[in-house]
A and B are shown apart, each in its own frame.
Chain A
Amino acid sequence: EVKLVESGGGLVQPGGSLRLSCGGSGFNFSTYWMSWVRQAPGKGLEWVANIKRDESEKYYVDSVEGRFTISRDNAKNSLYLQMSGLRAEDTAVYYCTTSGNDFWGPYISWGQGTLVTVSS
């Protein structure tokens, strides 16, 4: 069974930085494409970033381009999201998700999410 567990969320001041982590188990992590999706309180889903299995391609939503960096460590079965220049509008639950072996396939599994709150 594919299992994804996020960590690293918390309260951060505007302009600050935070790194989210996602641990994967129950599957061959190094062969799966990974993504981050967020959901602001009471709002809908927003795709944030994608990363290919060998990190050769990364994609970002325009609103985080240049501020967020997605990366992975296949040896540790881990996905990361380094966030800097945080803004109030980045406040959201951040979900780790995967489309399996299909980079542009549907998200077949989701973690439970980690809450990031940007506030002074």
Chain B
Amino acid sequence: SYVLTQPPSVSVAPGETARITCGGQNVDRKNVHWYQQKPGQAPALVMRFDDDRPSGIPDRLSGSNSGNTATLAISRAEAGDEADYYCQVRDDNNDHWVFGGGTKLTVL
């Protein structure tokens, strides 16, 4: 089965750029979606189809996907960005959805 690998944690200083990676074999051949989950809340979609921001998501967030790594970048990081972030792809071999293990973003 397909596996997505995320770093457990990423730290960033306020105002700097955080990059959260999502690794998978030839992940660039797949559509990657990203979700943000704040404590006690349900997840929310923040990036779809690699680099498309849903309505209401600030342009400080951007996505990319190349080779074996997809990346969610958050520029001008602020305290409100602190959350867990999950990447997601479809496993074409068995029509299953796969999530990465999640990355906790801390804004120091």
Contact = CB atoms under 8 A, between A and B. Distances in A.
Q: Is the interface of B mostly helix, strand, loop or mixed?
A: strand
Contact of A61 (B35, B96, B102): B96
B102 A44 contact: yes
Interface of B: 1, 33, 35, 37, 42-45, 48-49, 54, 84, 86, 88, 90, 95-102
Chain A interface size band reads 20 to 34
9 contacts: A37-B43, A44-B99, A44-B102, A47-B99, A62-B1, A95-B43, A106-B49, A110-B42, A113-B42
B101 A44 contact: yes
B95 A59 contact: yes
Contact of A106 (B45, B98, B102): B45
Interface string A77-99: 00000000000000000010000
A24 B17 CA distance: 37
Interface of A: 35, 37, 44-47, 50, 59, 61-62, 95, 104-108, 110-113
A104 B90 contact: yes
B44 A110 contact: yes
Given A44-B86, A45-B35, A108 B99 contact: no
A38 to B, nearest CB: 11
Given A44-B84, A45-B35, A107-B45, 17 more contacts: A35-B97, A44-B101, A45-B88, A46-B99, A50-B97, A61-B96, A95-B43, A104-B90, A105-B48, A106-B33, A106-B49, A107-B33, A107-B35, A107-B88, A110-B44, A112-B42, A113-B42
A16 B97 CA distance: 27
A68 to B, nearest CB: 14
Contacts of A46: 99
B86 A111 contact: no
A55 B88 CA distance: 23
